[in-house]
């Protein structure tokens, strides 16, 4: 285990099992449809590619890059659109794929953006949901794990751009971010 990690919250096997379950739920929800599945960079890249392989049927994929955490463990409060999707989503069924919903600000921003563009439906799949940290209302339709209000890293989630490549999700030792 990486030395900066206090404890592993979800192992690679537990994440794989959650991806299989969510893949089934999504396959059923979109049976006969071709959703536009939009991964939210950068955190959701690992989850997006894993879950897509558990969904039956056709899908189109795209990515959007937004950011609101600038190196720290708390949201700046402002969501910046760094890179937009290339797909025309008017009349389409959109599935947003997130690694984590924390304050809800990022998800609220994306839900409003895609609604304004005339999507037929916009649903959300998140691996992690942190309800105790919610500041802005933003609900997900497909949820991997409901997590405690702690700062998590691994499997896409970073602190200061580090730890994204850990194969598990862990709690970062508080001294790592309090010393910086």
Ligand X SMILES: O=P(O)(O)OC[C@H]1O[C@H](OP(=O)(O)OP(=O)(O)O)[C@H](O)[C@@H]1O
Catalytic residues: 102
Cβ atoms within 10 Å, residue 35: 21
Q: Which is nearer to ligand HPA, 54 or 151 (CB)?
A: 151
Assess contact for 100 and 128: CB atoms under 8 A. Answer: yes
> Which segments of the chain does DSSP mark as H helices, in order?
12-29, 45-52, 105-116, 174-178
Q: Which is nearer to ligand X, 28 or 78 (CB)?
A: 78
Q: Which is nearer to ligand HPA, 32 or 161 (CB)?
A: 161
Q: CB of 102: closest distance to ligand HPA in angstroms?
A: 4
113 binds, among ligand HPA, ligand X, none (CB under 5 to 8 A by kind): none
Residue closest to ligand HPA (Cβ): 102
Binding site for ligand HPA (CB under 6 A): 69, 100, 102, 151-153, 157-158
40 binds, among ligand HPA, ligand X, none (CB under 5 to 8 A by kind): ligand X
Q: CB of 57: closest distance to ligand X in angstroms?
A: 26
Cis ω for the linkage preceding 17 (within 30 of 0):
no
- Per DSSP, which regions of the chain are E strands? 5-10, 36-41, 60-67, 80-83, 93-101, 121-129, 142-146, 152-153, 169-172
Name 143's Cβ contacts closer than 8 Å, sequence gap at least 6. Answer: 125, 126, 129
Binding site for ligand X (CB under 6 A): 40-43, 67-69, 75, 98-107, 158
Q: CB of 155: closest distance to ligand HPA in angstroms?
A: 10
Q: Which is nearer to ligand HPA, 56 or 80 (CB)?
A: 80
With tokens 């999707």, the residue in question is: 85
Cβ atoms within 10 Å, residue 96: 25
């Amino acid at each position: 285990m990486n030395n900066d990690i206090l404890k592993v919250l979800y192992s690679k096997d537990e994440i794989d099992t959650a991806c299989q379950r969510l893949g089934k739920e999504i396959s059923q929800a979109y049976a006969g449809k071709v959703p536009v599945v939009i991964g939210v960079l950068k955190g959701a890249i690992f989850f997006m590619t894993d879950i897509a392989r558990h969904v039956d049927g056709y899908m189109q994929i795209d990515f959007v890059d937004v950011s609101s955490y600038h190196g720290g463990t708390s949201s700046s409060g402002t969501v910046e659109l760094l890179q937009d999707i290339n797909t025309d989503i008017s009349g389409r069924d959109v599935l947003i794929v997130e690694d984590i919903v924390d304050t809800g600000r990022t998800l609220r921003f994306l839900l409003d953006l895609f609604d304004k563009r005339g999507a037929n439906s916009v649903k959300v799949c998140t691996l992690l949901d942190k309800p105790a940290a919610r500041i802005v209302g933003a609900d997900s339709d497909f949820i991997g794990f409901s997590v405690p209000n702690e700062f998590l890293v691994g499997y896409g989630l970073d602190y200061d751009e580090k730890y994204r490549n850990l194969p598990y999700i862990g709690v970062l030792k508080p001294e790592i971010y309090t010393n910086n």
